Amino acid sequence: MKRLLVLIAFAAAQITAALSAAPLWGATVSVELISDRGMQSTAAQQWLQLLSDAGAVNVRLRGGRPGDEPRIEDLSGRGAEIYKLTGVLTSRDELIFPGAKFGLRDRQKLRDYFADLKADGAAAITAPKGMFGLTEPQFKSVFDDLSTPLTIDTEGRPLEEVLSDAAARLRLRLSVEPRAAGVLRSAGPVQGDFGPLSAGAALAGMLRGAGLALRPDKPRGEEVQHLVFVAGEAARKDSDGAWPVGWPVETSPREAAPILFEFLNVEVDGFKLAEAMGAITPRLGMPVLWDTRALAEKKIDPATTPVQLARTRTYYKRLLDKLLFQARLKANLRVDEVGKAFLYISTSGAKL
């Protein structure tokens, strides 16, 4: 049983409590709470008990002074990890710690906050978070790792086998969620040559074809990793969802892929879309990949979809646009993590 000893001295406007709780991750957290003058003793005791349940070891409650604000101090030394948290209790019964705000019903949220602090230090609490809930150094670590050239054969190989080969080329761990592992084992062969791309765009594209997705994941107390999960599943940690199949072109399309704006004389008659694309793709000198999952969902089969184009002089991008439009498709110009341009053919409006 946790023990709680509270000494209330309203004349001095201070409440001191000695609390004990099982330490997590080998670190301890002490808390100093700064209260508004109007706080009642019952509310103070509720907060003390809540903080005890959440994992705080020592709590001291006092009245506010000019210049008080939420902060974290690292008091570690002599082999012991100790963090001192200063929080502000407002008249609205809210507790403000650095980087977070809590109510009396936020027991689990407080536990997670303390656990993150103990496991990953003050930076886990105070550092600004960006895409996928990562700090800037964490995102850079992931992006740099996924910039690794894939340089392996992918066409026609089992996805699970290709994923294993790709993981061996990455510095960060690649983990697979249990449900995703089942999907991976039953997935068909990879459709497309993703080898020329960097690992991020390639993995995202190959996994997408099997109804899977990739995202960074930061387990508590561990280094950030790559995580394979079932696409579209709820309970993602943030709204960023999955790692994209390439990135939007930041320069002009003409600068990113000059070949697309070269002119040619062309006529297409009596061909299926797959046949026409098979004749055009080698001329482009850049990867051209298909969003097979999106095509299957819309029941679009390039091998059976007829296309035509009257004899004309045009440039490659316009040619592709006209042919793909007849199949309700679109060629998306993307770049991988190292800036290599490629075309990703998907349905109109598909989120990449």
Residue 42 pLDDT class (50, 70, 90 cuts): confident
Domain positions in the chain = 4-126, 131-244, 253-347
Q: Which of residues 237 and 348 earns the better pLDDT score? A: 348
Q: What is the mean pLDDT of residues 150-155?
A: 98
Q: What is the pLDDT of residues 4-39, one digit of tens each?
A: 222 222 222 232 332 233 334 468 899 999 987 656
Please provide the CATH number assigned to the domain covering 253-347: 3.55.50
202 and 287 Cβ atoms separated by less than 8 Å: no
Query: Among the ranges 27-31, 117-121, 127-131, 292-296, which has the highest mean pLDDT value?
Result: 292-296
Residue 273 pLDDT class (50, 70, 90 cuts): very high
Residue 3 pLDDT class (50, 70, 90 cuts): very low
Share of the chain above pLDDT 70, in %: 88
Q: What is the pTM of this model?
A: 0.84
Which one-letter amino acid corresponds to residue 214?
L
200 and 341 Cβ atoms separated by less than 8 Å: no
- pLDDT in the model for residue 41: 65
For 98, other C-beta atoms within 10 Å of its C-beta total 16
173: left (phi over 0), alpha (psi -120 to 50) or beta: beta
Share of the chain above pLDDT 90, in %: 73
Q: What is the mean pLDDT of residues 66-93?
A: 87
- pLDDT in the model for residue 226: 98
Q: What is the pLDDT of residues 204-260, one digit of tens each?
A: 999 999 999 999 999 999 999 999 999 986 445 454 689 999 999 999 999 999 999
Residue 203 pLDDT class (50, 70, 90 cuts): very high
- pLDDT in the model for residue 65: 86
Residue 43 pLDDT class (50, 70, 90 cuts): confident
Q: What is the mean pLDDT of residues 251-277?
A: 98
Q: What is the mean pLDDT of residues 125-149?
A: 95
